[in-house]
A and B are shown apart, each in its own frame.
Chain A
Amino acid sequence: MTLPILELAGLRKSFGELEILTGIDLKVTKGELAFVIGPSGSGKSTMLRCCNLLERPTSGAVMLEGRNIAASGVRLDPVRRRIGMVFQSFNLYPHLDALGNVSLALRKSLKLPRAEAAERAAAALERVGLAERARHHPAQLSGGQQQRVAIARAMALEPAVMLFDEPTSALDPELVGEVLAVMRELREAGMTMVVVSHEMRFAREAADRVIFMDQGAIVEQGTAEEIFGAPKSSRLQAFLARQAA
């Protein structure tokens, strides 16, 4: 079996008295698209945010390419360059144009020279189909375009894995397709991805594995056919019934 790129082991997270994650074990292998579903409040986003230590787990390990990055003393900035993240609300920098948004980390974190960073950023924008919007500021872009810039920003660093936190939830329905198309293309290019989303159709079509979370734990996981076609647990059955309704 191939070594997992990303592995969560015994991951727990509490906010005060409230335990949000009650022990998560998850392995994501290279090139895999792991799709996380579950009711709101089930801990999906918290789990995702623990993967790049935006939330520090209360206990447990986050292994990236075989190294526990949740251990104390690990310098997080270089680690985070290996983990791209795409947010529900895009979080583009409003004072920079699309090219500036994508190239900032290339210049300041990877320390690439300005010209090389611009070149790589332009290539990333090209891949998400926004080459001609490079000089537009976020306010001049549609929601779908903004999210594609955000994907380009994460992708340009050539991460080992990309995390998507409800990437289409803030979008008007007619703009969802263009973002999913970019994600589909990323997957075809072999990017390892962990996606938290409610886009069940995309999960059916693109996910290698679907993970169902409820109340801070992974309840059930399997291929899309297994999860959607033959759900075993009553909680998953109830969740899917609510989604269909």
Chain B
Amino acid sequence: MKRQRRSRRNWPRVLAFGWLTGVASAALLAPSSLLAPDLLHTNQPPFLPSHWLGTDPQGQDVARALVQGARTILLVSLPAAILTLLLGAGLGSIAGFWGNTRLRLTRSVGVAGAALVLSALLFAAPLLARGVVGGIGLLAAAALLGWVLHRTVWGRRPWALPADALVAGLIVLLDSVPLLILVLLVAAVQRPSAGGLVLLMALTCWTTPARLMRAATLQARGHTYVEAARVAGLSDWQLLRWHIWPVTWPVVLVRFPLTVSLLIGLETTLSFLGVGLPPDTPSWGRLLAGIRQSPTAWWLLVWPGVTLLLTILSLQYLSRRKM
């Protein structure tokens, strides 16, 4: 009786897992070569021999594009989600753990670090043009500045890095422009490659995991066992690694499927608008965009649309604890 009820309750979960496994295996087994377009059969409706899901206005087979698009999803959204969560979790736990007053540095380190960040931001273009040499040069200059300052008495005075305020400020700055518009603007500066898109999405989407992680860290830090461990003489790093993270990382892990689904939505929207991945990369969004050229080709909406919706729904279902 009990066993039957549990299996009945779990079948949507099984379906969601099954669908995601299907998408993942399709992505892994997908042929990597691009087929020459079948120009004799452009805009062909589905359920006909040779192209059983139809073709798009360029004569590409929809089924093949779907499978190859799954690979793109896997290769772009998964790394982007992992990067997003790592970045968010890192910054969030720094902000929550050290707060505004507890990250003690000397003034020399503070000034040198600020100078490094400022000049890296201001002179991004000439630095990028020089590549590794420019980066190492800048780092060396900052290190020299820090060393010189450290020789003075003023430079050796303690100074607290306002980590919490810095991270909170960054979050406010990033959240004040809608995500799609921000990504659109940055993508306009330089048409991103697949790797660039991953980086861009991670750099703009980390705010929510960071907020969650900050709250969780603040909560965990208040526990008495953390106080006990601190009194026992553990360093900040050991506290964070052995006593805070084991409690806080589930918060971010639960968020993982949701982040993946969010990034899939963003990536397909960008491809649909034609600013995302390079044009020769097969993608579900690009396939859907074909409907703008042939508005009556319903198969260009239904197949990729249903695949996309099922994938996102499965991911969101898995991230929900109970429903």
> Do chains A and B stick together as partners?
no
